[in-house]
């Protein structure tokens, strides 16, 4: 039993580190995790689900805005990108955040091609993150089910 927990814990640690190393996550995620305590056990999950909901909504907005033939309202796209950037930085979704920065630049430059490309990338990226994080949460759940504790991962 303990061996399983230890193995799971090991797996979890490695996986988390890999997430950091691949640039999916950054320190802010750690900070976020710190905020989760006994008072709010599902804080991180809650925030992340909020984030992903946000993502769906915003990406939908942007896709609609960019889909329009003729005049594209870049300011609307820009506002959405800004929102997304803020959200992603708050949860520590590093890659998404980075993409958002580029996206915002294209938006300001009113580069339609760039915007569309970025939008696609953001879509891919946030979905990838979602999968990764779900995997991670699954691991956590497994650990807890196995009766172990979710280990504190020191990134540095």
Partner 1 sequence: MSITCELSNLTSKKAKESSGGRKWIKKPLLFLILCGLTVSMVIVLLMFSRKEETGSCDGEARVLYRHQNVTRSEIHDLVSLFYDSDQVTSFECRKESSPGMWENYGITCALNMRCEKEETGGAPLNLDPSGLQHYISSTARVCDNLEQSLLQSKEPVNHDEGLNWDVSTYLRNTWWCLILGVLVCHKVFVSHSRAPTERKENVNPQEALAHKQRPQTAFRGAGKWRKNILLLGVIAGVSMSVWWFWDTNEKIILKRRETLENMCDERARVLQDQFNVSLNHVHALSILVSTFHHGKTPSAIDQKTFGEYTERTNFERPLTSGVAYALKVPHSKREQFEKEHGWTIKKMETEDQTPVQDCVPENFDPAPIQDEYAPVIFAQETVSHIVSVDMMSGEEDRENILRARASGKGVLTSPFKLLKSNHLGVVLTFAVYDTNLPHNATEEQRVDATIGYLGASYDMPSLVEKLLHQLASKQTIVVDVYDTTNASDLIKMYGSETGDISEQHISSLDFGDPSRNHEMHCRFKHKLPIPWTAIISSGLVLIITFLVGYIFHDAISRIAIVEEDWQKMKELKARAEAADIAKSQFLATVSHEIRTPMNGVLGMLKMLMDTDLDAKQMDYAQTAHGSGTDLISLINEVLDQAKIESGRLELENVPFDMRLVLDNVSSLLSGKANEKGIELAVYVSGQVPDVVVGDPSRFRQIITNLVGNSIKFTQDKGHIFISVHIADEMREPVNIKDAVLKQRVALGCSESGETVSGFPAVNALGSWKNFKTFDSTGDQNSGRIKLLVTVEDTGVGIPLDAQGRIFTPFMQADSSTSRTYGGTGIGLSISKRLVELMEGEMGFVSEPGIGSTFSFTGVFGRAETNFTITKYERFDLAIQEFKGMKALVIDNRKIRAEVTSYHLRRLGISADIVSSLRMACTCISKLGNLAMVLIDKDAWNKTDFTILDELLTSTKETSTRPPKILLLATSATLVERSEMKSSGFIDEVLIKPLRMSVLICCLQEILVNGKKRQPIRKRINLGHLLREKRILVVDDNLVNRRVAEGALKKYGAVVTCVESGKAALAMLKPPHNFDACFMDLQMPEMDGFEATRRVRDLERETNKKVASEEVPVEMYSKFSSWHVPILAMTADVIQASNEECMKCGMDGYVSKPFEEEKLYTAVARFFESS
Q: List interacting residues with partner 1 (CB under 8 A).
A: 27-28, 31-32, 35-37, 39-40, 43, 46-47, 50-51, 54, 79, 82-83, 85-87, 89-92, 156
Closest of 54, 18, 16, 21 to residue 32, by C-alpha: 16
Q: Rank residues 31 and 135 by Cβ distance to partner 1 and give the closer one.
A: 31
Least separation, in Å, of the C-beta of 78 and partner 1?
A: 11
Q: Cβ 16 to partner 1, closest distance in Å?
A: 18
CA–CA gap between residue 128 and residue 136 (Å, rounded): 12
Cβ distance to partner 1 smaller for residue 117 or 130: 130
CB of residue 126 vs partner 1: minimum separation in angstroms?
12
* Measured distance CA(104)–CA(101) in Å, rounded: 5
- Residue 93 DSSP label: B
Smallest distance, partner 1 to C-beta of residue 156, A: 6
CA–CA separation, 142 vs 136, rounded Å?
Answer: 10
Of 102 and 142, nearer to partner 1 (C-beta) is 102
- In the bound state with partner 1, the residue whose beta carbon lies nearer, of 5 and 97, is 97
Give the shortest CB-53-to-partner 1 separation in angstroms: 8
Q: How far apart are CA 140 and CA 149, in angstroms?
A: 8
With respect to partner 1, which residue has the nearer C-beta, 5 or 99?
99
Q: What is the DSSP letter of 68?
A: S
What secondary structure does DSSP assign to 7-31, as a single string?
Answer: HHHHHHHHHHHHHHHTTSB-HHHHH
């Amino acid at each position: 039993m303990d061996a399983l927990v230890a193995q799971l814990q090991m797996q979890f640690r490695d996986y988390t580190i890999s997430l950091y190393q691949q640039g999916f996550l950054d320190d802010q995620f750690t900070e976020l995790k710190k905020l989760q305590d006994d008072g709010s056990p599902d804080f991180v999950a809650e925030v992340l689900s909020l984030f992903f909901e946000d993502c769906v909504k915003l990406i939908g907005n942007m896709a609609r805005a960019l889909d329009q033939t003729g005049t594209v309202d870049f300011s609307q796209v820009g506002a959405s990108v800004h929102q997304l950037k803020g959200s992603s930085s708050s949860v520590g979704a590093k890659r998404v955040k980075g993409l958002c920065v580029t996206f915002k630049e294209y938006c300001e430059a009113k580069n339609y091609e760039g915007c569309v490309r970025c939008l696609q990338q953001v879509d891919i990226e946030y979905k990838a993150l979602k999968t990764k994080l779900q995997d991670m949460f699954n691991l956590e759940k497994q650990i807890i089910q196995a009766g172990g504790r979710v280990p504190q991962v020191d990134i540095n």
